Amino acid sequence: MTKLKPWLSLSGIGVFAVLLLAVAPLMLTDHWLNNLGKYCCWAIAAVGIGLAWGRGGMLVMGQGVFFALGAYAMAMHLTLETAGDRIPGFMVLYDPLAPLPVFWEPFRSAGFTLLAIVVLPVVLAGVLGYALFKRRVKGAYFAILSQALAVALATLISSTIRETGGDTGLSDFKYFFGFVLNDPANKQLVFLIAATLLIVCLLAVWQLYRSRFGELLVATRDAEERVRFLGYDPANVKLVAFVVAALMASIAGAMFVPIVGIITPAEIGAAASILMIAGVALGGRASLFGPALGAMAVGWGQSSLGSTWPDGWTYILGLLFIVVILFLPNGLSSLPARFAAMRRSPERQTVPAVAAAELEEVRA
């Protein structure tokens, strides 16, 4: 049965791909398809968090930083594409005579923009991760530092009104690499790109989980000193997972911009990063599908309940998060394993049996 599990996971990815790429465009209205695209963006970031936190034990509470790198790189390109040869409108509003900032100019190029979406998070995460992991910074200290970076970046963007739009952000995009964004067919195309990227990220993480690197990552999480004793450098193992998670967050941010049509500091700060963590914890941080499904569920709740009952939605999410942490530490994805263990021996079900079921879910 254990040998079949990797291929069952691969089959699950296939079913998920069919639902997203074939069924959803046929069944959903344009409004809900656009919302689903937004949920896919959060799911992409969540898959990376699942790799770093669920398998690597790194509570990455500052993924908003890397989400922002991809989002603002894409937003700058789309803003310049909309403006054409002119200075973007929000810059003219604040200073009609000032030229275009120097760091904006390269983002006129689509190739440079795509390269920046990939290279910037990899370089930043590589430098930051190397500095922290080589000094054996981990646990709460790592979580606080990563979240502090998200707060600092959001504050910086809010204060640079002419360069980044400040708190109002960047919006009113009309084109996406030459395609008119208001065209329903092009909106569906953008959704399909986001959904495809989510499937690719799931496949990449599935392969990493099955590889020797995946085993080393779990071993580093559970017994870092033993891994070091065996001749491996845990810092390098964690660094790779951290960089991959950062890259996925950047890709998520880049696709978020054309789908939602706006990016502001509120989407990248501490609150947004915590929301990503909540979705991963809800779904199950150590499983393959748990982070993605949890993030999509939280996104749906924010769009549906949050719009009609904003204050109540915050309490519901907080209560749900507490309940999951207390009673389902491995998230909702651990429920099938728990039920299976209970069915096997309902009369003799013990705590060790439940723990074994949770361990099996983590290893799947």
CA dihedral 289, 292, 295, 301 (to 10 degrees): -70
Alpha-carbon distance 88 to 84, whole Å?
A: 9
Phi, psi of 350 (to 5 degrees): -125, 170
Residue 357 domain-assigned (yes or no):
no
CATH of the domain at 222: 1.10.3470
Residue 339 domain-assigned (yes or no):
no
Structural domain containing residue 222: 2-327
Residue 277 domain-assigned (yes or no):
yes
Residue 348 domain-assigned (yes or no):
no
Along the 364 residues of the chain, how does pLDDT read in single tens digits? 334 466 788 888 999 999 999 999 999 999 899 999 999 999 999 999 999 999 999 999 889 999 999 999 999 999 999 988 888 888 887 777 778 889 999 999 999 999 999 999 999 999 999 999 999 888 888 888 888 998 899 999 988 888 888 888 899 899 999 899 999 999 999 999 999 999 999 999 999 998 999 999 999 999 888 989 988 999 999 999 999 999 999 999 999 999 999 999 988 887 888 888 888 988 888 888 989 999 998 888 887 776 677 677 777 777 877 887 787 778 877 777 777 777 765 555 444 544 454 445 444 4
Residue 354 domain-assigned (yes or no):
no
Residue 336 domain-assigned (yes or no):
no
Q: How many domains does the chain have?
A: 1
Alpha-carbon distance 325 to 60, whole Å?
A: 17
> Tokens for 329?
């530490």
Alpha-carbon distance 341 to 134, whole Å?
A: 41
Residue 355 domain-assigned (yes or no):
no
pTM, rounded to two decimals: 0.89
